[in-house]
Amino acid sequence: MSDDDLARALRALDPARTPADAPVPLAAERRLREILERPPRSIAARRRRVLPGLAAAAVAVVALVVGTIVWWPAPTATALTPEPLKYAAVDDDVPTLLTAAQDRLAHNPGRDDAVRRSLTLGWFFSATVGEPDATVFRREWVDVSWNTDLSGSVVTTVAESTDAAGDTVPADDPAPGTVVGDASFIRGQFHPLSIDPPPATIDAMRELVATAIGPQTPLTSGDAIIGVQTLLGEWTFSDAQESALLDVVREAADVRVLGRTTDRVGRAAIGLGGIPTGTPNTDATLLVSLDSGRILGVETSLRAADDTLGLPAGSVTSYTLWDVEDRPDAPPAPAAP
33-47, 134-148, 279-293: which has the highest mean pLDDT? 279-293
Domain extents for the chain? 3-321
Burial 58-83 (b: 16+ CB within 10 A, else e): eeebbbbbbbbbebeebeebeebbbe
Q: Tell me: the pLDDT tens digits for 97-156?
A: 999 999 999 998 889 999 999 999 988 766 554 554 545 567 899 999 999 999 999 999
218 contact partners, CB below 8 Å, separation of at least 6 = 252, 253
Write the CA distances from 169 to 28, 67, 302, integer angstroms: 21, 28, 26
User: What's the CA gap between 247 and 302, in Å, rounded?
Assistant: 27
What CA–CA distance (Å, rounded) separates 275 from 296? 19
pTM value surpassing 0.85 = no
Cα angle 162-29-317, degrees, rounded to a multiple of 5 = 45
Is 177 within 8 Å of 202 (Cβ atoms)?
A: no
User: How far apart (Å, rounded) are the C-alpha atoms in residues 31 and 183?
Assistant: 11
Residue 161 pLDDT: 63
Q: Which of 198, 66, 80 is nearest to 133 (CA)?
A: 80
pLDDT tens digits for 84-98?
A: 999 999 999 999 999
